[in-house]
Structure 1
Amino acid sequence: MEKLFKLRENKTTVRTEILAGLTTFLSMAYILFVNPSALATTGMDMSAVFVATALAAVVGSLLMGLIANYPIGLAPGIGLSSFFAYTVCAQWGIPWETALSGVLVSGCVFIVLTVTGIREKIINAIPTELKFAVGAGIGFFIAFLGLKNAGIIVGNKATLVALGDLHNSAVLLAVFGIVITIVLMTLNINGAIFIGMAATVIVGMLFQLIDVPTQIVAPIPDISPTFGQAIFHLGDIFTPQMLIVILTFFFIDFFDTAGTLVAVANQAGFMKDNKVPRASRALFADSSATIVGSILGTSTTTSYVESTAGVAVGGRTGLTAIVIAICFALSMFFSPLLGVITSAVTTPALVIVGILMIGNVAHIDWSKFEIAVPCFMVILMMVLSFSIASGIALGFIFYPITMFFKGRYKEVHPIMYILMILFILYFVFVV
């Protein structure tokens, strides 16, 4: 363990890494049910997608742990699966088999960019201030996501968003989880986030808000209805419409992963000289998982920002990712037990992690307007557009502009100017 993961060097222990892995898994477990439900609307077999989702998470997390030694869990991204199901298949009428081929191709493009080092150079070219803004923005985003999923924040025709029904039992359970976790964090209790989630589950069962599992073990469903379809339909991707699909998968996953990697590296204290160590290895794991996932029968696999929940518990090495992979593997056998992981259970973890991550704003020089504008746009637009990728895109467009007119254009890496142009084209032709 020590030789493989360098536990002492990273000031962690096996016990801490296991606890971190369990915490991250519990924060990610919802994807096992949400992803199959979304992709089933395209005509895909829900049971097969469930297995594909779990296996993609297993492969991705294992690669992340063994190759990159990062405490990051991977699984099919909910934003990407929503785009896959509701835009590509439902609105554009593209068969799900062809859409999976698009995911496969985007993964292959990622591999090429990663192996050549281009992807890592792009991430390292991002200014320090924008990296901190990305971390803070993701903090606000996941806290908002948790509150929304729990019904604490709801939609409102007059004000867009509003406070939810605090008389609703499920909402109150989430509020209880947030309060108890905040108390535990305030008391510096080790593993406070994990304990808070467990307490929420127990209280939910006591008040019959969470069903007590009636079955422990369930047979693993058949994956054959989706397996290999991405390969069999590669010949159908050579159309202008599929080019847009592939580019969209590419852009969203590229910057969602970059944002997550930067956020986790910042929170864990891995950043050195504005660079993410072993970034190419982490990106290779992410790209490979996308390829494997598409062949198994699921949408793009990506690094999960919920990994910051495990980092908050103390996870610092790839052992955390290995634990996550083991949990996803076991979930295929014990899927009935995952029914207790409701939004009320995951919300406390997301809110607490959001609180921890917004501390990144302290490292941004807000007195310099040319820096404040793009950082503000990253943070604000992630939440208002409900998209990590869109927030990053807008911030990256404004950064070269404000720096140029401030006379600091020589300080901007050439890659940032290229990204600005690409993001403008992305908004014009894709969004």
Structure 2
Amino acid sequence: MSSPDLTAAKTSSGWLDRRFALSARNTSVRIETLAGITSFLAAAYLLVVIPSLLATGGMDRGAATTSTIIVFVLSTIFMGLYTNLPFIVGPGIGGSVILGVTLAATEHVAWQTGLGIAFISGVLFLILTLVGARSLVVRLIPAQIKLGLGASIGLFIAVLGFRNAGMVIANAKTNSLALGDFSRPGTIVALIGLAAAVVLQGRRVPGAILWAILIAAAAGVPLGVTHLPSSMISLPHDIMPVAFKLDIPGALTVAAIPYLFVFFAAEFFSTLGTTLAVGAKANLLDENANLPNINRPFLVDSIAATLGPVFGIPALTALVESAAGVEAGGRSGLSSLAAAAMFALMLLFVPVALAIPKEATAPALILIGLSMFSTIRHAHFDDFTDAFPVLSMVLLTLMSNSFGTGIAGGLLCFVIVKLLAGRFKEVPWGLVVLAIPLGYYFWTVVKHH
């Protein structure tokens, strides 16, 4: 006879299997847990980056750190339970740059007003989701663009990894990317992690990405890159210095409209690209390269984008770092719950999370990005009018350092190229209409840079 503990374990596992369709998706509780931890580690650097960017605009960094963790936990739990998809939801770097650097530090717009703009953007986001407009846009997007999404986002992730590793730097003199100093301790740590990841993945070791991150972090201790915390546990900072401070009346001005559109467009195309590209990586797309029930993740991220500014954090979206968990085998919302649990722990163990340097997670981003870039082989390059928009999307992503801008540019390019070639029938009228706000978006981006 089996012991009561073993029987209880089997019952629990069976319930999780049914609730998250683990068997149907060829996964298990163990795989999903490892995947969730891997996603968490890949995104943990945001716990440092996001509060730092917001602090640039005058926000309290300690309070912003606690709020960042809270919105990560709540949004990711909602995503896992409601959609059963392996996505983590949190603040994107782009939105934090817009608020902390562009609006507050450069344009001298109060960060409270910036939060108000982000909140209004989230409300519009939610309304379009509820009326089904976002799903309509997904159906309007040409299959060729969808096939190139993975490559565009993969390039973004890989370049982010190379930059975090110090292998690639921005050359101020030539205004271009250049090779970094490979003798730096941080870069050496990244190279050790990259070598470990290649060896472990090549030998098909379970949790290879996670092990590589931990190996790199450990290697960083003697090199002075990984700094062990003096205290493992710390109480979270009070969130009230940043929570419930949004200034909505101040955001309802004509001058705020361009920033409102930048917030909106960046969130819209970031989430669109992430869901389709990461969904493809997890083999969750249908035969038309669409994600079934895509309105569910859209609803989650639009609600998150609305509530985030209330807690003092702008521009929440489904994050590309979710691809790390998918690469580790994540296929269901259970991996999202595991990631959320790890973020929740960081409310007490913030020093531990901050001890893992970005150089240790860089190899995971590099390998995942290069793996996703390989999806470009499915695009059709025998027709110039099909190939040019896809290649433009990839290059715009690289040049703008924003895959949201890259995707928007690819769509606009598709419309322009097809119309100039006289192939009007290949462009849906809805896409022609969408090209108008896309053109305005690019005019706004150029004007404010």
1:72-87 equivalence runs, <5 A: 72-87=87-102
**Residue identity matched to 1:382:** T
| Pair 1:42-2:57 in alignment | yes
Q: Which position in structure 2 is the counterpart of 1:277?
A: 292
TM-score (norm 1): 0.96
Q: Deviations over 1:367-406 (max 9, x none)?
A: 1111100000111110122111221122111112223344
Cα gap change, 1:430/1:165 in structure 2, threshold over 3 Å: closer, same or farther?
closer
Distance 1:333 1:293 in 2: 21
**Residue identity matched to 2:244:** G
Deviation at 1:339, TM superposition (A): 2.1
Distance 1:43 1:354 in 2: 33
**Residue identity matched to 2:150:** G
1:31-430 equivalence runs, <5 A: 31-156=46-171, 157-158=173-174, 160-230=176-246, 233-272=247-286, 273-430=288-445
Q: 3-state SS of the aligned residue for 1:326?
A: helix
Q: 3-state SS of the aligned residue for 1:10?
A: coil
Query: What is the RMSD of the two structures over their aligned residues, measured on CA atoms?
Result: 1.4
Is the CA contact (8 Å cut-off) linking 1:124 and 1:276 kept in structure 2? Answer: no
**Residue identity matched to 1:194:** L
Deviation at 1:95, TM superposition (A): 0.8
**Residue identity matched to 1:271:** L
Is the CA contact (8 Å cut-off) linking 1:51 and 1:220 kept in structure 2? Answer: yes
Deviation at 1:295, TM superposition (A): 0.6
Deviation at 1:430, TM superposition (A): 4.3
Is the CA contact (8 Å cut-off) linking 1:124 and 1:274 kept in structure 2? Answer: no
Q: 3-state SS of the aligned residue for 1:229?
A: coil
Distance 1:379 1:167 in 2: 30
Distance 1:185 1:359 in 2: 17
Q: 3-state SS of the aligned residue for 1:421?
A: helix
**Residue identity matched to 1:261:** T
Distance 2:417 2:174 in 1: 34
Deviation at 1:159, TM superposition (A): 7.1
Q: Deviations over 1:291-316 (max 9, x none)?
A: 22111111211111011111011100
Q: Deviations over 1:184-222 (max 9, x none)?
A: 222222221111111111111244331122211101110
Cα gap change, 1:236/1:208 in structure 2, threshold over 3 Å: closer, same or farther?
closer
Deviation at 1:407, TM superposition (A): 4.5
Q: Which moved more, 1:342-351 or 1:125-134?
A: 125-134
**Residue identity matched to 1:106:** S
Q: Deviations over 1:77-122 (max 9, x none)?
A: 1111011111111222211111111111111111111111111111
Q: Percent identity?
A: 34
Q: Which position in structure 1 is the counterpart of 2:5?
A: none
Is the CA contact (8 Å cut-off) linking 1:127 and 1:274 kept in structure 2? Answer: no
Distance 1:137 1:430 in 2: 19
Q: 3-state SS of the aligned residue for 2:22?
A: coil
Distance 1:154 1:161 in 2: 6
Deviation at 1:419, TM superposition (A): 2.2
**Residue identity matched to 2:281:** Q
Deviation at 1:124, TM superposition (A): 2.5
Deviation at 1:362, TM superposition (A): 1.2
Is the CA contact (8 Å cut-off) linking 2:185 and 2:224 kept in structure 1? Answer: no
Q: Which moved more, 1:4-13 or 1:179-188?
A: 179-188
Q: Deviations over 1:250-306 (max 9, x none)?
A: 011110111111111111111112321121110111011112211111121111101
Q: Which position in structure 1 is the counterpart of 2:13?
A: none
Distance 2:121 2:174 in 1: 40
Cα gap change, 1:343/1:101 in structure 2, threshold over 3 Å: closer, same or farther?
same
Distance 2:428 2:28 in 1: 39
**Residue identity matched to 1:136:** A
Is the CA contact (8 Å cut-off) linking 2:32 and 2:335 kept in structure 1? Answer: yes
Q: Deviations over 1:95-154 (max 9, x none)?
A: 111111111111111111111111111123212221121110111111111111221111
1:23-34 equivalence runs, <5 A: 23-34=38-49
Q: 3-state SS of the aligned residue for 2:85?
A: coil
Distance 2:34 2:160 in 1: 23
Q: Which position in structure 2 is the counterpart of 1:5?
A: 20
Q: 3-state SS of the aligned residue for 2:414?
A: helix
Q: Which moved more, 1:176-185 or 1:8-17?
A: 176-185
Is the CA contact (8 Å cut-off) linking 1:88 and 1:99 kept in structure 2? Answer: yes
Distance 1:124 1:39 in 2: 35
